Amino acid sequence: MYRAYKFRLYPTPEQQVALAKSFGCCRWFWNHSLNLCQETYKSTGKGLSRGAIQGLLPALKKEYPWLTDAYSQCLQYVALNLSTAYKNFFEKRAGFPKFKSKHGRQSISYPANVKLDGDYLKLPGKVGSIYCRQDREVAGKFVTTTISQNTDGKYYVAIIVDDGKAIPEASTDGKAVGIDLGLTHFCITSNGSKFDNPRHTKRHAKNLKKKQQSLARKQKGSLARAKAKRLVAKVHSRVSRVREDFLHKLSRKIVNENQVIAVENLCVKGMVRSHNFALAISDCGWGQFCTMLKYKAEWEGKTYTEIDRFFPSSKLCSVCLNKVDSLPLDIRAWTCDKCQTHHDRDINAAINIRNEALRILDLGTRSTANGGNVSQPGKTSVLLDAVPIEVGNPIRLAVG
């Protein structure tokens, strides 16, 4: 089973220069390869395989000797990332690959030859050993190590390891909970618990406004503008980190207390198109929260399931299953016409989500997996559209 660890790095000034050179080399090779893929497709109608892109490196290193500043396997990993980016685009999991800029987040990946030596992360090549602040022990075999620099100037390492353990078989024996996500309250559970929305962006809005106004007054291209830009990036980084901390703690609490976790499959991308709620919805991080619930439940052998977004969880009475015709957003409580039960809108929705998930699990309903044609690594054309083939994905569910 794969696990990821993320730590803060503190490189010396010399190591920062070496990392900047590596970032630049990998960024240039990505942009060069992406442009070559596009030009090749326009002229021949065919793409370049991962192996063909990696085969460009020997000639490019002779033409551009500064490419040797980056570790060779980091450059080879760029071809794998580009191939994966095209696959994700053709399978409609992501947008079309974009060219990278030196003004945004920078990163390089090491597929091998990386290890932790005490408080230091030992990297191959010219970078050497970097001081790494570790808050927990890394257990497992290193798979991929990614070094990144955020726009606020901080360095991080993300280590993916294989701990050698099998993924536990999902079980449904135990307590079940339904979760309704909202704006006034971030999370409402079927047992009546309500967790307030921290509104992280609003808390830092005054400080962010001050920093952005200062940035707007600086002359473009000046050192003062670069410094002001970094101060703005630090505020955004602060907001992102406190949001992530809140989501981690809440998702861990829910997973620890329940065996079956049911949420509504929301179309966040479509919801943020509303100009009235776009900022508030984006600030919540619903998608990130559901992702955390999913992989943490998988680690613990628990069941995570999503209910269809068109299921009328708010309009349906959880007692007699009577459905009301209309229920505007400003109505937060209502009484059922049939059984005269008074409902809190959000708690009633969470109960309906939980009941619908249990019904689906009892019926043994399962989704199907769409898999594409499998090819050998390195031989897949990065511009060849994958043809999905619908296959069954048998999942054994132990329903209690």
Statement: residue 367 has pLDDT above 60: no
Cβ neighbour number for residue 16 with a 10 Å cutoff = 16
CA separation (Å) from 26 to 23, 120, 192, 374?
5, 24, 51, 28
The pLDDT confidence band at residue 391, using thresholds 50, 70 and 90, is: very low
Domain layout of the chain by residue ranges? 2-162, 176-363
Which one of the listed residues 180, 283, 306, 356 is annotated catalytic? 180
More confident residue, 390 or 133: 133
**369-371/106-110 β-pairing:** unpaired
| Averaged pLDDT, 266-286 | 87
pLDDT of residue 330: 84
| Averaged pLDDT, 352-365 | 85
| Averaged pLDDT, 358-363 | 87
φ, ψ for residue 397 (rounded to 5)?
-115, 125
**Tens digit of each residue's pLDDT (9 = 90 or more) over 184-229:** 899 999 998 999 999 999 999 999 999 999 999 999 989 999 999 9
pLDDT of residue 58: 94
Statement: residue 380 has pLDDT above 60: no
The residues near 117 (Cβ < 8 Å, ≥ 6 apart) are 129
CA separation (Å) from 207 to 43, 204, 233, 314?
51, 5, 12, 37
69 is catalytic: no
pLDDT of residue 101: 93
pLDDT of residue 379: 39
**Tens digit of each residue's pLDDT (9 = 90 or more) over 61-82:** 999 999 999 999 999 999 999 9
pLDDT of residue 382: 40
Alpha helices in 223-344 (DSSP H): 223-257, 268-271, 278-284, 286-299
pLDDT of residue 64: 94
| Average pLDDT value over all residues in the chain | 86
The pLDDT confidence band at residue 130, using thresholds 50, 70 and 90, is: very high
Distance CA 400, CA 260 (A): 11
Buried b vs exposed e over 250-264: b needs ≥16 C-beta within 10 Å? bbeebbeebbbbbbb
The pLDDT confidence band at residue 375, using thresholds 50, 70 and 90, is: very low
pLDDT of residue 27: 96
362 is catalytic: no
Statement: residue 390 has pLDDT above 70: no
Statement: residue 376 has pLDDT above 70: no
pLDDT of residue 373: 35
- Beta-strand ranges (E) seen in the chain are 2-10, 106-110, 115-117, 120-123, 128-133, 141-149, 155-162, 176-181, 185-189, 194-196, 260-264, 303-307, 333-335, 342-344, 369-371, 389-391
Which one of the listed residues 137, 196, 244, 264 is annotated catalytic? 264
Which one of the listed residues 283, 306, 346, 356 is annotated catalytic? 346
180 is catalytic: yes
**120-123/115-117 β-pairing:** antiparallel
| Averaged pLDDT, 41-51 | 89
pLDDT of residue 163: 87
Percent of the chain with pLDDT over 90: 61
pLDDT of residue 398: 36
pLDDT of residue 186: 93
Statement: residue 107 has pLDDT above 90: yes
Quick one: 351 exposed, middle or buried, by C-beta within 10 A (0-12, 13-18, 19+)?
buried
